[in-house]
């Protein structure tokens, strides 16, 4: 009896192994992001919703096949993201992997995508390594990266007269990289870095670090931290009157952070973002539709998720195939023009180059409607803020 | 004048800031110490109760327009009531078991409570403004001290001393202490020990909520705010000695100050300094600085 069962199991197994080789009847997108923890307000399940909106707007079909979205919460663990990606490719024949926030998970998924030859998009993660030291022929890094944030904020603020900088830095790879990138830009533009203080991750109380920043007498306080650490630093800076004496800039910030802190705590703060919902008519149109469903305005990452999905589906249509090499070839030929990006191009290293913006948070009195938070100070041309060919170590772009 | 390259005014201001954080440690570790002293339960839900105090304060302001001062009383009452439920419905059943079961049960509760608030409010947190009366800051000459932070120190030291007085110097406190030593004997004298235990847990929970209300204008009110704090607070209790009231108050304040100085001299170590001290104390005095060897 037992032997018969084993035989049956083996047969079923063999049949299971054979299925992926059968003709494809669906185009599947597999999306993992942080859906429950510290980054979930920036992208999270509303990122999945934006992707689904893009699929629906595309008509739900491409090349005559229905489009299906699979989602998973990677819980900020690289191994979960990687094994989910592997499982999706092996058992569901997913044709496009879509990674989310958290650079560790993003890099892990990029490796799986390269090994399995699947198109890999990411708009949530910040690490510039995705298209530099660890670039892959199948990666498209869509929204922003740490280099662009640092160059954008550093360059624009030094040019506007903020010459002396002090850094408040989260003491791990991400914060240190941001600080290093921004310091280089500040020095390159003729500014000086008068000091920095490194705080542990999840420090909760920042008053002590901020007093050190204040006594440095620098003109600009740059915060190279994110999420809860950033929010608590900004709150404490307001409390200790630092925002009156120093120009403050956050090197990684999103509209969801401003929303949760309120304008009173954040007014006057400058940072770089890739998109703002109220920047033009097309953006407002998308944002209002998004708001109907999510009851909050989209972050730049959620908008990028929509745009990236549409871009991928157009490329599949143009390639008349879901084969990763063919789709990537089409993607590199495309000019991306939609509400999110104007004249965007995907470089050989996988970087989608488009314009970013330096924004400033409005004063409470200047805000006339809900979510009316930013003034656009300056457009930052993509070819100036992203990594240049000379700086790049990516072997695909030589 | 400079000490190790830091100016004296600089050090003084760090001392004050250390006291502010120390106040939170003191009031939270006090609650843990009281609960452990009487119930022998390592209350891992303390961080979640702290968070509930803060979130309730935010909810009351945003849904009902109830201000900070009312919540300073109301939030501890509500969370204390919640504590009664936890003790009556859950903890009651595991007193006879090993400490570990209490820890696991309260840890599970924490995950549940935090999960519920997270699914409703997300993780970025909610902003809560400083009450008008305490807005602004006072120039102390050597530093710019936000009025609200000064209030935090005064309020929490007041509550800590009040608690210490009740437990160490009043008749009620004497019953409590006797109940910890030998519950059966105390019961024989006609004192209702189970009710006393319930109220003790509720009181510990109320203390956590009180700290939560105090923290709402200082930190971002968020479902995860208890997590970062609670681990440090456990270290404080271990250093001070489990079950020692004055011990946890003094240790809380002291460690806040030490942590503050670390932030000036070697900021990278500021999150670990408390644990380094814990290791040293455990090696030299395993029962903690103020604890009695049993």
Q: For the segment A271-305, what is each residue's pLDDT rounded down to a tens digit?
A: 999 999 999 999 999 999 999 999 999 999 999 99
**A202 inside 8 A of chain B by CB:** yes
Q: Chain A, 214-253: which have a CB under 8 Å from a chain B CB? A: 215, 227-228, 231-232, 235-236, 239-241
Gap from B263 CA to chain A (nearest CA, Å): 7
Residue A41 and residue B122: Cβ atoms within 8 Å? yes
A379 to chain B, minimum CA–CA distance in Å? 27
From residue A8, how far is each of A18, A19, A21, B160 by CA, in Å?
15, 17, 21, 70
pLDDT digits (tens, 9 = 90+) for A233-278: 998 888 888 888 888 999 999 999 899 888 988 988 999 999 999 9
Q: Which of the residue ranges A5-14, A66-75, B20-29 would you say has the lowest mean pLDDT? A: A5-14
Select from B16, B143, B220 the residue whose CB has the most chain A CBs within 10 Å, as the one to mutate to test that interface: B220
Mean pLDDT across chain A = 90
CA distance B237 to chain A (A): 20
Asked if A260 is an interface residue toward chain B (Cβ–Cβ < 8 A), one would say yes
Chain A CB contacts of B256 under 8 Å are: none
- The predicted-structure confidence for B79-104, as pLDDT tens digits, reads as follows 999 999 999 999 888 877 887 888 89
Look at A240 and B144 and tell me if their CB atoms are within 8 Å.
yes
pLDDT in the model for residue B294: 54
Complex prediction ipTM: 0.72
Contact across the interface for B271 and A212, Cβ inside 8 Å: no
Question: A199, B270: Cβ pair inside 8 Å?
Answer: yes
Closest partner residue to A38 (CB to CB) among B13, B18, B123 is B123
Higher per-residue pLDDT: A340 or B289: A340
DSSP string, chain B: -EETTEEHHHHHHHHHHHHHHHHHHHHHHHHHHHHHHHH----TTHHHHHHHHHHHHHHIIIII---HHHHHHHHHHHHHHHHHHHHHHTGGGGTTS-HHHHHHHHHHHHHHHHHHHHHHH-SS-B--PPPGGG-SEEE-SS-EEEHHHHHHHHHHHHHHHHHHHHHHHSHHHHHHHHHHH-HHHHHHTT--HHHHHHHHHHHHHHHHHHHHHHHTTTS-B-TTHHHHHHHHHHHHHHHH-TT-HHHHHHHHHHHHHHHHHHHHH-GGGTTTHHHHHHHHHHHH-TT-SSPPP-
**pLDDT value at position B261?**
86
- Pick from B50, B127, B269, B276 the residue to mutate for testing the A interface (most A CBs within 10 Å): B127
Q: Do residue B17 and residue A207 have CB atoms under 8 angstroms apart? A: yes
Tell me which residue in B122, B220, B260 faces A235 most closely, judged by beta carbons.
Answer: B220
pLDDT category of residue B238 using cuts at 50, 70 and 90: confident
Which residues in chain A are closer than 8 Å to B14, comparing Cβ atoms? 208, 211
A204 to B118: CB separation less than 8 angstroms, yes or no: no
Which range is least confidently modeled, A10-24, A142-156, A230-244, B53-67? A10-24
What's residue A307's pLDDT? 97
When pLDDT is cut at 50, 70 and 90, the band that residue A4 belongs to is: low
pLDDT of residue A58: 96
C-beta atoms of B267 and A264 within 8 A: no
Q: Given this model, what pLDDT does residue B241 score?
A: 82
Q: Is A195 on the interface with B (CB under 8 A)?
A: no
Q: What is the per-residue pLDDT for A6?
A: 60
Q: Which of B17, B123, B137 sits opposite A37 (nearest CB)?
A: B123
Assign A20 a pLDDT band (cuts: 50, 70, 90): very low
- According to the model, what pLDDT value does residue B120 have? 82
Mean pLDDT of chain B: 85
Among B218, B220, B263, beta carbon nearest to A208: B263
What pLDDT sits at residue B220?
A: 79
Instruction: Indicate whether A73 pLDDT > 70.
Output: yes
Q: Note whether A260 contacts B144, CB cutoff 8 Å.
A: no
| pLDDT over 70 (residue A21) | no
Q: What is the pLDDT of residues A167-221, one digit of tens each?
A: 999 887 778 888 988 998 999 889 999 999 998 877 778 888 888 888 888 999 9
């Amino acid at each position: 009896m037992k032997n018969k069962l084993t035989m049956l199991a083996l047969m079923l197994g063999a049949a299971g192994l054979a299925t992926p080789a059968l003709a494809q009847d669906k185009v599947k997108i597999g999306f993992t992001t942080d859906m429950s923890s510290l980054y979930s307000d920036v992208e999270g399940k509303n990122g999945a919703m934006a992707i689904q909106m893009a699929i629906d707007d595309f008509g739900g079909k491409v090349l005559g096949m229905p489009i299906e979205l699979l989602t998973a919460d990677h819980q900020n663990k690289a191994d979960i993201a990687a094994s989910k990606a592997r499982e999706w490719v092996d058992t569901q024949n997913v044709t496009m992997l879509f990674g989310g926030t958290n650079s560790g998970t993003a890099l892990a998924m990029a490796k799986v995508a390269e090994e399995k030859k699947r198109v890999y998009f990411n708009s949530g993660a910040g690490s510039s390594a995705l298209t530099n030291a660890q670039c892959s022929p199948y990666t498209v890094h869509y929204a922003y990266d740490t280099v662009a944030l640092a160059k954008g904020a550093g360059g624009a603020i030094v040019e506007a007269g903020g010459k002396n900088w002090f850094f408040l830095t989260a003491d791990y790879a991400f914060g240190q990289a941001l600080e290093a990138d921004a310091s280089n830009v500040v020095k390159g533009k003729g500014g000086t870095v008068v000091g920095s203080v490194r705080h542990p991750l999840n420090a909760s109380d920042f008053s002590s670090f901020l007093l050190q920043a204040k006594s440095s007498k620098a003109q600009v306080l740059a915060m190279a931290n994110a999420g809860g650490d950033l929010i608590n630093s900004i709150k404490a800076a307001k409390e200790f009157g630092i925002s009156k004496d120093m120009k403050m800039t956050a090197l990684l910030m999103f509209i969801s952070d401003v929303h949760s802190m309120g304008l009173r705590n954040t007014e006057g703060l400058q940072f770089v973002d890739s998109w703002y919902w109220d920047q033009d008519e097309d953006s407002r149109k998308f944002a209002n539709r998004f708001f109907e469903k999510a009851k909050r305005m989209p972050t730049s990452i959620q908008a990028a998720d929509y745009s990236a999905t549409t871009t991928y589906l157009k490329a599949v249509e143009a390639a008349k195939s879901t084969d990763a090499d063919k789709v990537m070839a089409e993607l590199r030929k495309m000019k991306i023009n939609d509400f999110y990006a104007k004249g965007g191009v995907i470089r050989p290293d996988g970087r989608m180059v488009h314009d970013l913006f330096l924004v400033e948070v409005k004063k409470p009195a200047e805000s006339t409607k809900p979510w009316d938070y930013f003034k656009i100070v300056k457009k930052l041309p993509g070819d100036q803020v992203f990594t240049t060919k000379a700086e790049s170590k990516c072997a695909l772009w030589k | 004048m400079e000490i190790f390259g830091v100016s004296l005014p600089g050090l003084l201001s760090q001392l004050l800031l250390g006291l502010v954080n120390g106040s939170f440690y003191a009031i939270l570790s006090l609650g843990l110490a009281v609960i452990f002293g009487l119930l022998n339960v390592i209350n891992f839900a303390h961080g979640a109760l702290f968070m509930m105090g803060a979130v309730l304060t935010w909810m009351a302001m945003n849904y009902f327009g109830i201000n900070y001062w009312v919540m300073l009383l109301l939030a501890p009452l509500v969370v204390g009531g919640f504590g009664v439920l936890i003790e009556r419905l859950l903890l009651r059943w595991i007193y006879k078991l090993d400490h570990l079961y209490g820890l696991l049960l309260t840890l599970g509760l924490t995950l549940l409570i935090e999960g519920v608030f997270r699914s409703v409010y997300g993780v970025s947190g909610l902003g809560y403004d400083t009450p008008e009366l305490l807005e602004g800051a006072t120039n102390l000459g050597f530093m710019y001290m936000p009025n609200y932070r000064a209030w935090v120190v005064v309020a929490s030291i007041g509550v800590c001393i009040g608690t210490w007085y009740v437990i160490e110097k009043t008749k009620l406190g004497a019953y409590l202490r006797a109940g910890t030593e030998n519950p059966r004997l105390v019961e024989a004298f006609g004192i209702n020990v189970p009710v006393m235990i319930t109220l003790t847990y509720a009181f510990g929970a109320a203390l956590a909520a009180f700290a939560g209300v105090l923290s709402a204008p200082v930190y971002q009110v968020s479902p995860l705010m208890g997590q970062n704090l609670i681990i440090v607070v456990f270290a404080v209790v271990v250093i001070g000695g489990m079950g020692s009231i004055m011990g946890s108050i003094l240790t809380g304040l002291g460690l806040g100050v030490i942590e503050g100085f670390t932030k000036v001299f070697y900021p990278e170590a500021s999150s670990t300094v408390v644990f380094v001290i814990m290791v040293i104390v455990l090696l030299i005095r395993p029962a903690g600085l103020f604890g009695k060897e049993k």
